[in-house]
């Protein structure tokens, strides 16, 4: 079951449902693309048909932001909760350590993916990280990176290049890498490595994580301008439908 938010299908899953789906994908063994979608990217997709196509061809699209959950309620098909890239990564690391699934971390500045991997391993003893790479490899280095990933043979590839760069990258290389599950996780490695602080739980629960990130990283201001525009579009869409 999906909710259509301005032409982008979002799966009506909570965290438990998303984890179940990922397990099904791993058991199937064929490549699957998972997107944790936020309002900013849905808004961008309005003028980027290519992006909308990537979103709607993914095997699982989870509601990453408070804006997406809010929109689903306004559109009469309420999503239960946010399933963010960082939470999905943490939960999957726990499950991977029990099931013997291997992870590969690709993205963020040099050193960050390694630190994130070390911290995940500390939190989840027995977790296998099959490889890491920073996120600033040149286009001509892509064949090497793909070869590294294939050689490592992970079950889950976490790609932290920021949205929508990571979604385009995964779409382009999904079949080539052959990894059962590839997920775009945005700035998650920076948080896991302890380089960026996540909003406190009360702010997350109040749907105010975006505001916290804005205060901590004021350079995000321009990107945030998409949020009120997204809200207006959802309100108008709902109004037209009535």
**For residues 157-176, which are near ligand UDP according to CB under 6 A?**
160-163, 165
Q: Using CB under 6 A, which of 61, 71, 105, 108 touches ligand UDP?
A: 108
**At which residue do the structure tokens 């889950």 appear?**
156
Query: Distance between CA atoms of 171 and 14, rounded to whole angstroms?
Result: 24
Both tokens of residue 63?
Answer: 């509601």
Interface with ligand UDP (CB under 6 A), residue total: 14
Tell me which residue of 185, 214, 224 sits closest to 39, measured CA to CA. Answer: 224
C-alpha distances in Å from residue 211, one per residue of 41, 208, 214: 17, 5, 5
Between CA 107 and CA 94 the distance in angstroms is 20
The phi and psi torsions of 47 (rounded to 5 degrees) equal -110, 15
Using rule CB under 6 A, residue 136 touches ligand UDP: yes
Of 33, 37, 17, which Cα lies nearest the Cα of 182? 33
Contacting residue, 26, 187, 192, 226, with ligand UDP by CB under 6 A: 187
Which residue in the set 11, 87, 115, 190 belongs to the binding site for ligand UDP (CB under 6 A)?
190
Q: Which of 63, 65, 67, 135 binds ligand UDP (CB under 6 A)?
A: 135
Q: Which is nearer to ligand UDP, 27 or 219 (CB)?
A: 219
Minimum Å gap between C-beta 159 and ligand UDP is 9
Binding of residue 67 to ligand UDP (CB under 6 A): no
Binding residues (CB under 6 A) for ligand UDP: these are 107-109, 135-136, 160-163, 165, 186-187, 189-190
């Amino acid at each position: 079951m999906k909710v259509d938010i301005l032409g982008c299908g979002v799966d009506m899953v909570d965290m438990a449902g998303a984890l179940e789906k990922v397990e099904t994908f791993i058991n199937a063994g064929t490549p699957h693309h998972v997107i944790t979608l936020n309002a900013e990217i849905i808004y961008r997709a309005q003028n980027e048909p290519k992006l909308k196509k990537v979103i709607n061809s993914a095997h699982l699209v989870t509601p990453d932001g408070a804006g997406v959950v809010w929109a689903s309620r306004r559109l009469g098909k309420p999503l239960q909760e946010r399933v963010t890239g960082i939470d999905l990564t943490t939960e999957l690391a726990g499950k991977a350590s029990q099931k013997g699934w291997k992870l590969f971390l690709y993205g963020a500045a040099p050193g960050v993916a390694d630190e994130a991997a070390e911290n995940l391993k500390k939190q989840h003893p027995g977790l296998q990280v099959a490889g890491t790479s920073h996120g600033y490899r040149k286009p001509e280095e892509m064949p090497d990176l793909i070869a590294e990933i294939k050689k490592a043979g992970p079950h889950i590839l976490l790609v932290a290049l920021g949205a929508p760069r990571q979604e385009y990258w995964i779409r382009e290389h999904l079949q080539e890498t052959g990894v059962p599950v590839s997920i775009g996780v945005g700035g998650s490695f920076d948080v896991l490595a302890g380089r960026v602080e996540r909003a406190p739980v009360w702010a997350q629960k109040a749907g105010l994580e975006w505001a916290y990130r804005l205060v901590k990283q004021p350079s995000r201001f321009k990107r945030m301008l998409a949020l009120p525009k997204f809200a207006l579009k959802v309100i108008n869409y709902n109004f037209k439908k009535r």
